[in-house]
Amino acid sequence: MYRAQPGFSHVDAEGRARMVDVSHKSDTERIAVAAGELATTAEVVALVRADGMPKADVLATARIAGITGAKKTSELIPLCHQLALSKVDVIFGFTDTTITVEATAKTTGPTGVEMEALTAVAIAGLTLHDMVKAVDPAATMNGVRLLRKEGGKRGRWSREAVVEQVGVRTDDRSAVVLVASTGGARGTREDTTGPAIAAWLENKGFSVRGPLVYADAEISAGLEDALTGGPALVISTGGTGVSPTDATPEATRAVLDRELPGIADAIRLEGTKVTPHAALSRGLTGVAGRTVIVNLPGSPGGVKDGLSVLAPIIDHLIAQVVGDGLHETADEK
């Protein structure tokens, strides 16, 4: 369990700024994950997704800028230590009117890499702003925050754990959309199911991260990414069939604490009203911690059928998972 230390570490006993001496600390593997969002217009999001901005290759430029920013953190923030970074990864997702940014920084050393992850998000976001300002000068970079960090004698810290420790209920209207698509991850195939799910969730009042697009072979990493921060709901699309590369159910089962087979069966049944092929879906539904995970097929029709099943039950389901749902039926009230 991570335990916070009293006082500001970068201020000495006389109140003067100082660089912390870490020479006595042991080298351990350190990881930090941070996130933020660029709020913009639907037009900008569409242009970026289609690589149609006047300044081309927007995401690649922002990704390189974020990585560069992480590497230069000690030059930008005066009291940060110089670190030998072993990994910096910057990924992007989309909602109708935001571009989400998430950065992971990793090193082996005597001090953490949270500032490097945060700087990567901030610089990537500012670069996005620079790239899109010709279309939307009012774009805003919001919510730059640390999601989790690991390493050192203090162990693991997560934003979700802090929320639980202070007795505040985790946000039960947060959702992540995850897409299993090798072609989508490579940029050779346009995904329409992820944005459709995101729009459906937003219409129901959820704050949405994603769609996060991962190749079929990397869906386990995608699910780990989606679960970062402990959202109330993760809806995946794709990878539920019986082809050799379909691995979403296996990745999902590995993280579930409890399965909800009735929902998965209802989604299949709804699909078979349109096509008998819906019976081939191996999608799962269940709960991982306090997160509901729902696997939907990769076809637009399969997504539509799945969302129609979820529509009347999703609010009650999420309320039950966090302990607020009532078990009696309408007839019992």
**Residues catalogued as catalytic:** 130
Please list, in sequence order, all residues whose beta carbon lies within 8 angstroms of the beta carbon of residue 4, skipping any fewer than 6 positions away: none
Q: Give the type of residue at 86.
A: S
3-class secondary-structure state, position 118: helix
Token representation of residue 234: 């993760």
Indicate the DSSP class of residue 98: E
Round to whole Å and give the CA distance between 302 and 321: 25
CA dist 90 → 41, 122, 173 (Å): 22, 11, 25
CA 243 to chain centre: 27
Please list, in sequence order, all residues whose beta carbon lies within 8 angstroms of the beta carbon of residue 179, skipping any fewer than 6 positions away: 191, 193, 194, 210, 211, 212, 213, 214, 236, 237, 238
CB 22 within 8 A of CB 110: yes
Round to whole Å and give the CA distance between 141 and 132: 12
Round to whole Å and give the CA distance between 287 and 285: 7
Round to whole Å and give the CA distance between 185 and 191: 9
CB 237 within 8 A of CB 271: no
